[in-house]
Amino acid sequence: MKLTVWTYEGPPHVGAMRVATAMKGLHYVLHAPQGDTYADLLFTMIERRNHRPPVTYTTFQARDLGADTANLFKSACQEAVDRFDPQAIIVGASCTAELIQDDPGGMAETMDLGIPVIPLELPSYQRKENFGADETFYQIVKALSQPQDKTPRITCNLLGPTALGFRARDNIEEITGLLADLGIEVNVVAPFDATPDDIARLPAAHFNVLLYPETGEAAARWLEKTHGQPYTKTLPIGVGATRDFVAEIAAITGRDLKADESRLRLPWWSSSVDSTYLTGKRVFLFGDGSHVMAMARVARDEMGFEVVGMGCYNREMARPLRALAREYGVEALITDDYLEVEQTIEAVAPEMILGTQMERHIGKRLGIPCAVISAPVHVQDFPARYSPVMGFEGANVLFDTLIHPLVMGLEEHLLTMFREDFEFHDDAGPSHHGGKATARKDPSETVEAPVAATVAPAPESTFEIVWLNDAERELKKIPFFVRGKARRNTEAFAAEKGLQEISIDTLYEAKAHYAR
Amino acid sequence: MNAPANPAGGGCRNAPILKERGQREVFCGLTGIIWLHRKMQDAFFLVIGSRTCAHLLQSAAGVMIFAEPRFATAILEETDLAGMADSQAEVDSVVARLLERRPDIRQLFLVGSCPSEVIKIDLAKAAERLSAKHAPRVRVLNYSGSGIETTFTQGEDAALAAMVPVLPETTERELLVVGALPDVVEDQMVDLLDKLGVGPVRLLPSRNIDSETGIGPNTVFALAQPFLGDTHAALERRGARHLPAPFPFGEEGTTEWLRVIANEFGVDPAHFDAVTEAPRARARKAVAAATETLGGKSLFFFPDSQLEIPLARFLTRECGMTAIEVGSPYIHDAIHGPDLELLPAGPTISEGQDVDKQLERARAARPDLTVCGLGLANPLEAEGLATKWAIELVFTPVHFYEQAGDLAGLFSRPLRRKGLLKLEAAE
Ligand code: SF4
């Protein structure tokens, strides 16, 4: 047994639901107790979908267990096919049904439903949501795709976007547009908005663009092996990666491709003088492996941040992420234990977190600004406006996303100059965040992180080292958004020098020591 | 002090019940942990379950992420299923680590789930052993919140029912009010009963383990929530006597609920009127504001929390709505009877669910307002039906006089909003 409070991933059948809900004309019959229907709300509430997920739950009860849960499954299957008239169904068991061993796949196959039946084996007690989505999509592709000639023109498929995926809707649009600029048509996008008939047409494309490795890689590999379709390895997140992505496609297609970069604004926004203040901001990244790896490059090479730590919750990505972390000279944190992530972030004390909705909460508590860059996300991260994170417009969006939680450059100067001013005082926070100025009264409610951050003692050193009153007062004169760093640096410096007390001199010696 | 008139055309107590058995779109009893752990401040809820159970709790808790909430899931792994690990020893070690880290825990609930029940992990045995081991500092109890045994609010019922046998014996004549209420509402209620001269009043659940809640043959109890069937039975087994009444929603419901208690304790009718007059007038006034929106509108309840029947009574009698269908996951005459009696005849009363069939009925009836779970609300809105998601009703203070207006407001807001949004071009 493993004690768990909050989870980054749901069970694997929720992954299967993400595929089924993304598709059209497909239905999922899930052998599961009534409470498992909670998963519908992930789609209808968090993603604001206006349809129920295409899932029929058998909702067996205790009294059915001794009797006939198998028949319950069969009638649920038949009724679902009669009512919803799908082109194909996927069938499987949730964690509880796995234990009663009714074999939904076997049963459905014997039922002669007149449509393809795709059985899913998703081990609920070993694997998680991303695996469930990846495996389900793979099984669907394997079962439904038909050998056929390639299209006369060069086409590709976009693979991996599911329901509840991070910015899936807009990434599809952005990358479809980018490919169109390059003269490449999209054959099929799957599973997002694809029908079983569309899945059958996948092999007609010349190659595949793998947009979401977590949920599409197994299918991409199988298509490569079976239908000779190479797939892209670069995620077009950020300027450099998007350029690499174009180069990769040029290599695959053997064409000389040049993308239209006229709408790309990140490079200038990042070089303009206001952005100088971004230099060396210490950021910690956590999320799914693919997004973290892509965003580390954006953070360091395109924003000028310093990456001080990175990690992912999906073990499947542990190996490449560890390798990348080594390149960045940081330790990789591979865990799905939320408390461990929080402890690590507290110890590293970054100036900003790039994470999931979980890190947003960690940031709130520790007083560290957070930008959300990866699933799982909550309702506020399904924006109404067009906001891809892939391609060139995606790069522009990322620039805005990454600076929004921070105090802006000019404002930083004003804060330093007028630090006792009533409007620019420490507790006001970035002026473009409404409501922050009152945050001090209710730190749990708002992102009033900076205050909390300075109050929180640095983890290791506070026990032996004492701040003298003068030094403490001097520290308070330093603007809040760098105060945590100043405190930590000074304490580390004092510890290194074996000092018991911190005076004003210590503070400024430390400042000189760390000057860059 | 006049009892309310029964509806002219008869009530619904003897109406035929449409019993449905099919796919249910409801939460399981684990969900109750979300509000129970806030209510019982020295309690911890440890679910023995799967990743699904942990994910359900997280999804139901929504954005309320606390650093370390007073609940967690011990997720079963392959070794637990294959019988390689002794489940009792595993529970012991998880609990030992938990109690070591959280010395503030005084009551620990081991909560069974579908997987723990299917593989027959005996949590009663574990609770007994752990109670003996950690007494007197920590009391360990167990109940089932599983989806194969419990529906949504039945989780609270199971938790409270598990507490009944271990409450101390008393021979005092006391009033026990049963059902978790938000603190602000509970305080109002205790104050009202106090002014009526009824007491001593004991609460189940109480805010902490050291309260003086006891039970005995002279205990009479009132239910504050309509989903406490098992707790009702457990209390009767210990000799306590139930005071059946409509539930304290709205002006009328609150008055009737209080009146039954006042009669039991021999409160003078004139005194009753004097105490209740002012809050009754306030409640009527507050409800009247929402009634402008709700009056004459039709209403359809999907089954969810067992609050449906008392709420339908409130919305029809006090807010002028017409009920088309009132669905409840379970109906117990001993508990829901008084409200059914007052609910004007006409609506279909349904128990259980076959969600696709019920959706067909709702689409055909096109009610002005549909009360349903989170999984159905947006899809129905997209079909042009205004909805009220039911889970808010168990997370929001809605009982007694001072919340009557808020309760009505929960239902009028979706309708008002529908009227407010104007998205067409101006000309
Ligand atoms: S229905 Fe059963 S398996 Fe599903 S969340 Fe509830 S207790 Fe867990």
Q: Closest by alpha carbon to A56, among A11, A86, A12? A: A86
Torsion of CA B3, B9, B15, B16, to 10 degrees: -170
Q: Say if residues A27 and A80 touch (Cβ distance below 8 Å).
A: yes
Catalytic: A274? Answer: yes
Tens digits of per-residue pLDDT, B341-380?
A: 999 999 999 999 999 999 999 999 999 999 999 889 999 9
Ligand 1: residue of A13, A40, A96 to mutate (most ligand atoms within 8 A of CB) is: A96
Q: Say if residues A289 and A311 touch (Cβ distance below 8 Å).
A: no
Nearest to A42 among B26, B59, B147 (CB): B59
Q: What was the pLDDT predicted at A441?
A: 37
Helix runs in A261-337, H state only: 266-271, 289-297, 318-328
Question: What is the mean pLDDT of the segment spanning A228-238?
Answer: 98
Three-state SS annotation for A371-425: EECCCCCCHHHCCCCCCCCCHHHHHHHHHHHHHCCCCCHHHHHHHHHCCCCCCCC
Q: What was the pLDDT predicted at B241?
A: 97
Residues 6+ apart with CB under 8 A from B88: B121, B122, B125, B126, B129
Tens digits of per-residue pLDDT, A414-437?
A: 555 555 555 545 555 665 565 444
Q: What was the pLDDT predicted at A460?
A: 42
Residue of chain A with shortest Cα separation from B354: A59
Residue A212: Cβ within 10 Å count: 27
Q: What was the pLDDT predicted at B60?
A: 85
Q: Say if residues B146 and B28 touch (Cβ distance below 8 Å).
A: yes
Q: With 60 as the cut, is the pLDDT of residue B91 above it?
A: yes
Residues 6+ apart with CB under 8 A from A323: none
Q: What was the pLDDT predicted at A497?
A: 87
Tens digits of per-residue pLDDT, B175-194?
A: 999 999 999 999 999 999 99
| Cα(A427)–Cα(A451) distance, integer angstroms | 7
Q: Say if residues B373 and B393 touch (Cβ distance below 8 Å).
A: no
- DSSP letters spanning A117-176: EEE----TTT--HHHHHHHHHHHHHHHH----PPPSS-EEEEE---TT-TTHHHHHHHHH
Ligand 1 atom at minimal distance to the Cα of residue B55: 5
Question: What is the mean pLDDT of the segment spanning B118-128?
Answer: 95
Dihedral sign for Cα atoms in the order A354, A358, A359, A364: positive
| Token digits of residue B357 | 């069939």
Q: Closest by alpha carbon to A92, among A131, A125, A132, A38? A: A132
Nearest chain A Cα distance for residue B99, angstroms:
13
Nearest chain B Cα distance for residue A152, angstroms:
41
DSSP letter at A243?
H
Question: What is the mean pLDDT of the segment spanning B316-329?
Answer: 97
Interface touch B67/A44, C-beta < 8 Å:
no
Q: What was the pLDDT predicted at B95?
A: 95
| Token digits of residue A73 | 């499954």
Tell me which residue has tokens 């939904």: A104
Percent of chain B predicted with pLDDT > 90: 83
Q: Say if residues A184 and A253 touch (Cβ distance below 8 Å).
A: yes
Nearest chain A Cα distance for residue B216, angstroms:
33
Residues 6+ apart with CB under 8 A from B308: B301, B326, B327, B328, B371
Q: What was the pLDDT predicted at B85?
A: 77
Query: Distance of CA A138 to CAs A219, A287, B1, B377, Å?
Result: 4, 23, 70, 32
- DSSP letters spanning A51-74: S--SEEE----HHHHHS-HHHHHH
Nearest to A4 among B23, B60, B75 (CB): B75
End-to-end CA distance of chain B: 56
Q: Treating both helix axes as pointing N-terminal to C-terminal, what angle do A469-476 and A504-514 enclose, rounded to 10 degrees?
A: 50
Q: With 90 as the cut, is the pLDDT of residue B199 above it?
A: no
Interface contacts A/B by beta carbons within 8 Å: 177
| Token digits of residue B279 | 């809050």
Residues 6+ apart with CB under 8 A from A360: A370, A372, A378
Helix runs in A153-263, H state only: 168-181, 196-200, 213-227, 239-253
Average pLDDT across chain A, whole number:
89
What residues in B contact A93, CB-CB < 8 Å? Answer: none
pLDDT class for B67, splitting at 50, 70, 90? Answer: low
Nearest to A99 among B22, B28, B115 (CB): B115
pLDDT class for B424, splitting at 50, 70, 90? Answer: confident
Q: What was the pLDDT predicted at B346?
A: 95
Ligand 1 atom at minimal distance to the Cα of residue B114: 2
Q: What was the pLDDT predicted at A478?
A: 77
Question: What is the mean pLDDT of the segment spanning B309-338?
Answer: 97
What residues in A contact B151, CB-CB < 8 Å? Answer: 34
Residue of chain A with shortest Cα separation from B355: A56
Interface touch A50/B90, C-beta < 8 Å:
no
Q: Provide the 3-class DSSP secondary structure of residue A330.
A: coil
Q: What was the pLDDT predicted at A173?
A: 98
Q: With 90 as the cut, is the pLDDT of residue A28 above it?
A: yes
Question: What is the mean pLDDT of the segment spanning A176-185?
Answer: 97
pLDDT class for A516, splitting at 50, 70, 90? Answer: low
DSSP letter at A281?
-
Three-state SS annotation for A160-181: CCCCCCCCHHHHHHHHHHHHHH
Q: Closest by alpha carbon to A94, among A120, A62, A65, A64? A: A120
Percent of chain A predicted with pLDDT > 70: 88
Q: With 50 as the cut, is the pLDDT of residue A439 above it?
A: no
Q: Treating both helix axes as pointing N-terminal to C-terminal, what angle do A168-181 and A391-403 enclose, rounded to 10 degrees?
A: 140
Question: What is the mean pLDDT of the segment spanning B28-46?
Answer: 93
* Residue B248 preceded by cis peptide, ω within 30: no
Q: With 90 as the cut, is the pLDDT of residue B84 above it?
A: no
- DSSP letters spanning B202-232: EEES-SSTTS---B-TTEEEEESSTT-HHHH
Q: How far is the CA of B144 from the centre of ligand 1 (A)?
A: 10
Tens digits of per-residue pLDDT, A281-322?
A: 999 999 999 999 999 999 999 999 999 999 999 999 999 999
Identify the bridge partners of residue A306 per DSSP, sorted by sequence position. A282
The edge-to-edge listing of strands for the beta sheet with B322-328 is B17-21, B348-353, B322-328, B298-301, B369-372, B387-389
* Residue A191 preceded by cis peptide, ω within 30: yes
Q: How far is the CA of A42 from the centre of ligand 1 (A)?
A: 16
Q: With 90 as the cut, is the pLDDT of residue A405 above it?
A: no
Average pLDDT across chain B, whole number:
93
Interface touch A50/B381, C-beta < 8 Å:
yes
Phi-psi region of B170 (alpha: psi -120 to 50; beta: other; left: phi over 0): beta
Tens digits of per-residue pLDDT, A464-479?
A: 788 998 888 888 877 7
Phi, psi of B6 (to 5 degrees): -70, 150
| Cα(A198)–Cα(A188) distance, integer angstroms | 6
Nearest CA residue ID for atom 8, ligand 1: B53
| Cα(A436)–Cα(A56) distance, integer angstroms | 45
Pocket of ligand 1 (CB under 6 A): A 33, 35-36, 95-96; B 28, 30, 49-50, 52-53, 56, 113-115, 146-147
pLDDT class for A454, splitting at 50, 70, 90? Answer: very low
Catalytic residue among A68, A274, A421, A505: A274
Q: Say if residues B30 and B112 touch (Cβ distance below 8 Å).
A: no
Q: What was the pLDDT predicted at A444?
A: 39
Q: With 60 as the cut, is the pLDDT of residue A204 above it?
A: yes
CA atoms within 13 A on the CB side of B421: 7
Interface touch A41/B375, C-beta < 8 Å:
yes
Ligand 1: residue of B146, B149, B152, B153 to mutate (most ligand atoms within 8 A of CB) is: B146
* Residue B205 preceded by cis peptide, ω within 30: yes
End-to-end CA distance of chain A: 48
Tens digits of per-residue pLDDT, B375-412?
A: 899 999 999 999 998 888 888 899 999 999 999 999 99
| Cα(A46)–Cα(B61) distance, integer angstroms | 13
Q: Provide the 3-class DSSP secondary structure of residue B243.
A: coil
| Cα(A19)–Cα(A23) distance, integer angstroms | 6
Question: What is the mean pLDDT of the segment spanning A368-386?
Answer: 93
Nearest chain A Cα distance for residue B398, angstroms:
23
Q: What was the pLDDT predicted at A437?
A: 41
Question: What is the mean pLDDT of the segment spanning A183-198?
Answer: 98
Q: What was the pLDDT predicted at A442?
A: 37
Question: What is the mean pLDDT of the segment spanning B45-56?
Answer: 96
Q: What was the pLDDT predicted at A429?
A: 60
Residues 6+ apart with CB under 8 A from A17: A28, A30, A39, A42, A43, A53, A55, A163
* Residue B182 preceded by cis peptide, ω within 30: no
What residues in B contact A59, CB-CB < 8 Å? Answer: 22-24, 147
Q: Which amino acid is at A371?
A: A
